[in-house]
A and B are shown apart, each in its own frame.
Chain A
Amino acid sequence: KNQVEQSPQSLIILEGKNCTLQCNYTVSPFSNLRWYKQDTGRGPVSLTIMTFSENTKSNGRYTATLDADTKQSSLHITASQLSDSASYICVVSAEKLIWGAGTKLIIKP
């Protein structure tokens, strides 16, 4: 069964700290892996898209990694800001998009 599991479910960190969010998937055949940011009450916004041949991809303070062998991805946020408070969703593309339930990140001042 195609599944995307994210951990932790929620995370609270202090402003300025770094954090890493995890995504494990069992999806076949694999096309690409996406990370989205979803602010409360808004639609998801794409952060990165990676194919199996891409190990790392950055978007400003966001860096996604992909290990296609172990079927794991991570999203690292550097020097967090209050505006990073959001849900971060991992999505794996096969013939369709398989959505994770997301990690809710709260940045405290």
Chain B
Amino acid sequence: NAGVTQTPKFQVLKTGQSMTLQCAQDMNHEYMSWYRQDPGMGLRLIHYSVGAGITDQGEVPNGYNVSRSTTEDFPLRLLSAAPSQTSVYFCASSLGGPASYNEQFFGPGTRLTVL
């Protein structure tokens, strides 16, 4: 099992550009989520999905879109990049949601810089 994979590992964008961060898992997990991690702060939830075809907003969704067409894939789209979106982005998956006893598995992260 590869677990949770993310691409790319690093990305530099100019303000206003768009891009898609890829995330895939091979554990047949229903619950997937995207976080951003900024220095000195806890991880913040951007969007999450409880299954294919179902997505919802987290605490910092503005400027980001997601879709979940398959159980395995959960891409994150930046619509028009801004310097405030400079961060490290993590994708995670688990069998159940936060209230469950299920372990959450994280990808290696994408380090994004917006100039």
Interface residues of A (CB under 8 A from B): 4, 31-32, 34, 41-46, 49, 51, 89, 91, 93-102
Contact = CB atoms under 8 A, between A and B. Distances in A.
A95 B42 contact: no
A93 B103 contact: no
Interface of B: 4, 40-45, 58-59, 90, 92, 98-101, 103-109
A43 to B, nearest CB: 3
Contacts of A46: 103-105
Q: Which of B40, B98, B107 has the most CB of A within 10 A?
A: B98
Contacts of A51: 101
Q: Specify the main secondary structure of chain B where it touches its partner.
A: loop
Nearest to B99: A31
Contacts of B107: 43
Nearest to B109: A43
B58 to A, nearest CB: 8
B9 to A, nearest CB: 9
A28 B40 CA distance: 24
A94 B98 contact: yes
A22 to B, nearest CB: 15
Nearest to B92: A43
B98 A43 contact: no
15 contacts: A42-B108, A42-B109, A43-B106, A43-B107, A43-B108, A44-B43, A46-B103, A49-B101, A51-B101, A89-B42, A93-B99, A95-B99, A97-B98, A99-B43, A101-B41
